[in-house]
Amino acid sequence: MFVTALVAVALTAAPPEPFLRLRAVGDIMMGTTVPEGKLPPDDGAKLLEGVSALLQDADLTFANFEGPLCDSGTSAKCRKGGNCFAFRTPTAYAKYLEAAGIDFGSTANNHSGDFGEACRRETEAALDAHHIAWSGPPGSIAHVTARGKKVALVAFHTSAACNDVNDLAAAKKLVAQAKAESDLVIVSFHGGAEGTNATRVKDGAERYLGENRGDLKTFTHGVIDAGADLVLGHGPHVVRAMELYKDRLIAYSLGNFATYGRFDLSGPLGFTVLLEVSLAEDGRFAGGKLVPTKQEGKGVPFPDDTGRGAKLVRQLTQADFPKTGVRIDEASFVVSAP
Cis peptide before 40 (omega within 30 of 0): no
Cα(229)–Cα(286) distance, integer angstroms: 11
Does 250 have pLDDT greater than 70? yes
Q: How far apart are the first and last CA of the chain?
A: 44
DSSP output for 4-51: PPP---PPPPPPPPP-EEEEEEEEEE--BSSSTTBSPGGGGTTTTTTT
What's the alpha-carbon Rg for the chain, to the nearest Å?
20
Residue 81's pLDDT is what?
A: 59
Residue 2's pLDDT is what?
A: 40
Residue 4's pLDDT is what?
A: 40
Residue 3's pLDDT is what?
A: 41
Cα(198)–Cα(192) distance, integer angstroms: 8
Domains of the chain: 20-336 (3.60.21.10)
Residue 5's pLDDT is what?
A: 41
Mean pLDDT of the chain: 95
Q: With bands split at pLDDT 50, 70 and 90, how would you rate the model's confidence at 80?
A: low
Provide, rounded to the nearest whole percent, the portion of the chain with pLDDT above 90: 91
Higher pLDDT, 179 or 82: 179
Residue 12's pLDDT is what?
A: 55
Higher pLDDT, 67 or 78: 67
pLDDT digits (tens, 9 = 90+) for 263-308: 999 999 999 999 999 999 999 999 999 999 999 999 999 999 999 9
Does 330 have pLDDT greater than 50? yes
Does 8 have pLDDT greater than 50? no
Give the mean model confidence (pLDDT) for residues 20-32: 98
Contact in structure between 262 and 32 (CB atoms under 8 Å): yes
Cα(94)–Cα(184) distance, integer angstroms: 26
Residue 7's pLDDT is what?
A: 40
pLDDT digits (tens, 9 = 90+) for 119-170: 999 999 999 999 999 999 999 999 999 999 999 999 999 999 999 999 999 9
